[in-house]
Chains A and B, each alone.
Chain A
Amino acid sequence: MSAAEHGPRARGMIAAADDELTIFERSKAGRRAFVAPALDVPERPLDELLAPGLRRAAPARLPEVSEPEIVRHYNRLSKRNFDLDTGFYPLGSCTMKHNPKLHERVAALPGHAKLHPLQDPARAQGALELMWRLQDALGEIAGLPHVSLQPSAGSHGELAGVLLTRAFHEDRGEHRTKVLTPDTAHGTNPATVTMAGYEVVKVGTDDQGNVDLDDLRAKASRDVACLMLTNPSTLGLFELGIEEIARIVHGVGATLYYDGANLNAIMGICRPGDMGFDIVHFNLHKSFTQPHGGGGPGAGPIAVSDRIEPFLPRPQVVRRQASQNGSPPGQSQTPESYFDLDYDRPKSIGRLRGFQGNYGVFVRSYAYIRSLGAAGLRDVSETAVLNANYLLARLRADGVMQHLPAAYDRICMHEFVLSGAPMKRELEIRTLDLAKRLLDHGVHPPTVYFPLLVEEALLIEPTETETKETLDRFAQIVSAILHEAAEDPEIARGAPYTTPVRRLDEAGAARHPVVRQPLD
């Protein structure tokens, strides 16, 4: 039974049941939600203010709908989404931990939400102090004292890190051309390297799941600007040779960059700065609970060592001593110190974006850190690692790993990788089919087909905010799906069955892309 049998077919669009209409398809001429305030200034002829040649020929064909229609439309759409507040979401590498509800309340306070970014620093002391204290806490967590909150996302932080590396080498009169990344690296790493004007060189992984030190030694030369690494790695394993790696990299004068995607495993346990990293980026939307929003916003602040500090983006949030002569501009009282934006940074790489960064994200992350403190942050990492190891052991105990073995026979950290290769051979279902069948059980699948190094990979990260009962239930579900596949692999191959739509034709979408609604 296809939708086409039920109604007219517009060009490029498949006619849909009411449930699936777009907001444009609900539009009806004359409906409206907004009415502009009455004109309260003398009206001048439009042609006088804006010559016809400067005006668009026809209006933008935005929808014409009333408020109730908008509300109902987006509410109904929302119900076609699975979300973290509703169910288990063990997406490896994404750290889908609970988003505390307090954070929305504090972020909405007008003093934060309605503050213009170009407000005088003297009249934004609350914001600047919040940012300064957040920098301080992040620097402490990283073990690197100098922090910039400017980058907008993890990959933006990576870009900052590689540009800082470039500036560092150029300042010493060196022109290097290569950056090393492990072959297990997240795709953003090599993409960032190219965007920063370097050539990517891949370093191999040994059979322990760690960086191959021999390969690293062979490739580390004075033409290498940086090694980008994450620890634990994308395989969820602690880099056993990290101290030797740091020696090798620093030995050729290169910088060591830490991709903070997996920070959730080590907060309060150990610090990237102590491991020898020069530059660290944080994903505030991962370890620090900024809600993912369906794919943004986030933030990717960076922390750097003393020798990288001069190159940090501008402006920097700083604390200054009040001058002897009295108050900083604009204030009648004289505090001993005040917070400011420092633009006077002659060696800075410049800006990566407008204004000061994603302040709304900083408010939430700061509230989180204040809620947790040192003991709480340590509890996060201990529980994240406990939960991951428990789930791994539970899956083993439930017989799942017969078909889905762990890729590496080691204690994992906050996440672990299974390989679906035996399952594919023995049960004739792939990791993709397992993922789709999980949807029918009301859980979000783990990350699939990443890292590329593991065949039919399944990367599972439960996070610390899940209960033991949830983990037990997940193991039972996986086990049930495998048993079902042993009886009849076709079921998983045709899954999902109970979701708002079933498997979608991605090839068709890529071949003849329709990326907007035609309105002709």
Chain B
Amino acid sequence: MTRYTAATEADRREMLAVIGVESIEELFADIPAGLRLRDGLAVEGGHSEQEVYDELRALAARNASTEDELSFLGAGMYDHYVPALVDSITSRSEFLTPYTPYQPEVSQGGLQAMFEYQTAISELTGLPISNASVYEGPSAVAAAGYVAKLANGRRRFVVSRGMHPHAREALRTLAHGWEMEVVEAPLSDGVTELPELDEDVSAVLVSQPNFLGAVEDLAALAARAHEVGALCVCACDPLPLALLRTPGECGVDIAVGEGQTLGNRLDYGGPSFGFFATTEALIRRIPGRIAGETRDVDGKRGFVLTLQTREQHIRREKATSNICTAQALNALAGVIYLSWLGRRGIVELAELMLQRTAYARERLGALDGVRLLHRQPVVREFAVGLDAPVDAVRERCLAQGVNPGYPLARDYPEHENALLVAITERRSRADIDRLADVLGDAVASERERHSERTSA
């Protein structure tokens, strides 16, 4: 018996008697003797709650979180302020512990929350149809690719080099199974330059803003896709959508994105949620759970999972996706957060980030040995190139308690010594000034060290 099971010796005896066997061993009689484990699993454990807590705390202490440094890391997940009411609501048993709402009569809380979330995403993206969420951003891009493939059966994707590297890779991983070609459109001066398109193109996939922080001309990109009858998929950062021309307004067919910034933790990369919104035409092809409004036998309004014939449990091999779930709790956090921000608050937040990002870009761009990778409009993140080895510069900054941003070289070898710098409402002017000072010093010191070495 462990602290989570309650079958006492007396219970077991009684239960075995009712079953009509002598021992629990007999219940495993179907398992061939040769497969039975003779010794226990080599899994160490069996500790008290207190001991487990201490161990998890010790592990936490060896991680440098956003509380331990001044962080300008972004690149897909961002250090935003999550208000206390999100946790207080999402930690309620009634939201935390139930399963997917298969019995809608006792799941109206979760189903209505999904409906409200779908409405909020539809408002943000400007597209009429949203599902109840998918796993996260990059896999949502791959799922959108699958929708395009099923919709038009064509053999090629054109994806912008400005799309998040993880999303591009996830798309490639899945496209390999569909025997589809993935062609990359390059960036020119920081924005997507589409090649000639033809009727073999199933979808054009871009990000808004792109990975280097630049705002793309989304309407023009969507128009190019439609000229050849291809779909346009856009992976968006949700908070800047408070200001940016929406995917819906730009003619995008499918808008997806990473939802972590909307009321969710960093959690070293997950769990979070992905949003997935489409035009009306794709309503029966959209993957994932969808909550729909209806009425009960007494005429009361209620909500149910609907359009289930798209899904795996009914359509099986012909389903629009194999996805069996949503990220319900994380999407709930999202809609609570969006309600907390509110119609005016989200605009104010986005404008604050816009202004501070502009200020940060100006300050960093003015530093010796630091140049901007592009001058496209940016909304919350921008890229700078350094005239010094980025790893050494970062080490100096980290020693000062500042994490200056994400080094681009691994994903963009053409930007060998470059950083992606993210701004959120948690990064004040004073923080940005500190970054400029520390980064400026670090670059200067490294350049000096280099020139000392080369002149020596």
Contact = CB atoms under 8 A, between A and B. Distances in A.
Interface string A139-179: 01100000000001111101100110010000000000000
A16 B342 contact: no
B202 interface: no
Interface residues of B, number: 211
A185 to B, nearest CB: 8
A200 interface: yes
Given A91-B99, A115-B65, A295-B326, A50 B243 contact: yes
Contacts, number: 732
Q: Which 10 A-B pairs have the closest CB atoms?
A: A111-B60, A373-B45, A355-B269, A2-B299, A293-B329, A373-B46, A117-B269, A297-B271, A126-B62, A85-B93
A360 to B, nearest CB: 4
B115 A22 contact: yes
B7 interface: yes
Interface stretch (B118-126, B364-372, B439-447): B118-126
A125 B345 contact: no
11 contacts: A56-B246, A109-B56, A117-B269, A118-B406, A126-B59, A163-B176, A297-B273, A354-B167, A504-B295, A505-B297, A510-B292
B97 interface: yes
Given A43-B355, A109-B57, A516-B122, A33 B136 contact: no
B294 A119 contact: no
A510 B307 contact: yes
A129 interface: yes
Contacts of A390: 15, 18-19
A366 to B, nearest CB: 8
B425 A36 contact: yes
Interface string A109-149: 11111111111100111110110000001001100000000
B453 interface: no
B379 A98 contact: no
Most buried by A among B3, B76, B176, B301: B301
B452 interface: no
Chain A contact residues, majority secondary structure:
loop
A443 B374 CA distance: 60
Given A2-B298, A377-B41, A502-B300, 9 more contacts: A56-B244, A84-B93, A100-B4, A120-B398, A186-B313, A270-B36, A296-B327, A360-B270, A377-B43
Most buried by B among A44, A196, A373: A373
B268 A293 contact: no
Contact of A60 (B49, B137, B241, B312): B241
Given A155-B312, A515-B129, A54 B215 contact: yes
Interface residues of A, number: 216
B412 interface: no
A65 B116 CA distance: 14
B294 A141 contact: no
Contact of A353 (B56, B87, B115, B138): B138
A125 B62 contact: yes
B128 interface: yes
Given A1-B298, A329-B391, A269 B177 contact: no
Contact of B270 (A83, A192, A358, A385): A358
Interface string A479-516: 00000000000000010100111111110111001111
A218 interface: no
Contacts of A84: 93, 97-99
Given A78-B95, A82-B106, A383 B5 contact: yes
A435 interface: yes
Contacts of B4: 97-98, 100, 371, 380, 464-465
A240 B142 CA distance: 38
Given A292-B100, A499-B106, A354 B122 contact: no
A385 B12 CA distance: 12
Interface stretch (B22-30, B154-162, B225-233): B22-30
Most buried by B among A55, A82, A294: A294
Contacts of B135: 152-153, 156, 296-297, 353
Most buried by B among A64, A297, A447, A464: A297
B277 to A, nearest CB: 10
A62 B346 contact: yes
Given A53-B245, A354-B166, A510-B292, A124 B64 contact: yes
B456 interface: no
B343 A60 contact: yes
Contacts of A162: 177
Interface string A45-78: 0100111011111011111110100110011011
Interface in A346-388: 349-361, 363, 366-367, 369-380, 382-383, 385-387
Given A112-B60, A510-B292, A499 B105 contact: yes
A513 B300 contact: no
Contacts of B308: 510
Contact of A114 (B87, B265, B300): B265
Contacts of B321: 191, 195
Contact of B299 (A3, A126, A140, A361): A3
B414 interface: no
B123 A386 contact: no
B174 A195 contact: yes
A477 to B, nearest CB: 15
Given A355-B269, A515-B290, A106 B97 contact: no
A296 B83 CA distance: 21
Nearest to B104: A504
A326 interface: no
B28 A269 contact: yes
Nearest to B17: A393
B281 interface: no
Nearest to A293: B329
B127 to A, nearest CB: 10
Interface in A273-313: 274-275, 291-299, 313
Nearest to B351: A46
Contacts of B283: 513, 515
A158 B26 CA distance: 32
B237 to A, nearest CB: 13
A374 B42 contact: yes
Nearest to B140: A353
B316 interface: yes
Contacts of B34: 243
Contact of A367 (B56, B63, B128): B56
A252 B300 CA distance: 58
Contacts of A217: none
B289 interface: yes
B164 A354 contact: yes
Interface in A2-56: 2-4, 12-16, 20, 22-24, 27, 31-37, 39-44, 46, 49-51, 53-56
Contacts of A268: 37, 40-41
B88 A106 contact: no
B347 interface: yes
A78 B7 contact: no
Nearest to A298: B325
A216 interface: no
B97 A99 contact: yes
A94 B325 CA distance: 12
A251 to B, nearest CB: 19
B126 A194 contact: no
Given A297-B270, A435-B103, A126 B342 contact: no
A413 B102 CA distance: 24
Interface in B249-301: 249, 258, 265-271, 273, 283, 289-301
Contact of A350 (B76, B173, B302): B173
Contacts of B315: 187, 191
Interface in B99-153: 99-110, 112-113, 115-116, 118-120, 122-124, 126, 128-130, 132-133, 135-139, 142, 146
